[in-house]
């Protein structure tokens, strides 16, 4: 059994999504530090992270809109900001076991960098699922993995500037 097959099975168990194109999954887990200088075929997760960030925002906005029909725009915006921030994505990534699966090269500073990019990798994974299975597949995965967070009681989240004032 190859390492990439083991990784695929682990991620598919954690996300509930089976990839048709495993290359997308491996790209979502590949940090730029692991790509050799002359390697023109391997790409890092950065483009998928860009896409996944937008897909996550759309899906969480849709879920919040449906889950809280009486909430005003301000409450929905604050909930959205809390749910899509890097720390929330990193927590989900850790829950599904992405930490040890990130492909990091010798210049990647090991574990310290892994913690700092875990949120990005989680977003890249969402982007990969979106490209592989479409919006319904990404929506299902986000709904499952963010479900409990979506239902947290609302506390008037305040931005740091407001708290300071």
| pLDDT mean by block of 10 residues, the chain; 165 residues | 84 94 94 74 88 98 97 94 94 92 73 74 97 98 96 69 53
Q: Would you please indicate which residues are annotated as catalytic (active-site) residues?
A: 53, 123
pLDDT value at position 112? 54
d(CA 43, CA 20): 19
pLDDT value at position 60? 98
Nearest to 123 by CA among 60, 79, 77: 60
pLDDT value at position 16? 94
Overall pTM > 0.85: yes
Nearest to 15 by CA among 3, 1, 29: 29
């Amino acid at each position: 059994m190859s390492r990439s097959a083991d990784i695929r099975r682990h991620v598919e168990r954690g996300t509930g999504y089976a990839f048709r194109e495993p290359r997308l999954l491996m790209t979502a887990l590949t940090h730029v530090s692991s790509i050799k200088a002359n390697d023109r075929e391997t790409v890092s997760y950065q483009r998928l992270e860009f896409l996944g960030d937008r897909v996550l925002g759309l899906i969480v906005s849709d879920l919040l809109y449906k889950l809280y029909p009486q909430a005003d725009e301000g409450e929905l915006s604050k909930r959205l900001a809390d749910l899509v921030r890097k720390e929330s994505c990193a927590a989900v990534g850790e829950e599904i076991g992405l930490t040890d699966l990130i492909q990091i090269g010798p210049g990647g500073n090991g574990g310290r960098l892994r913690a700092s990019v875990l949120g990005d990798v989680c977003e890249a994974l969402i982007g990969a699922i979106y490209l592989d299975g479409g919006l319904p597949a990404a929506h299902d995965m986000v709904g499952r993995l963010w479900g409990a967070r979506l239902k947290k009681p609302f506390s008037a989240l305040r931005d740091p500037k407001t708290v300071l004032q």
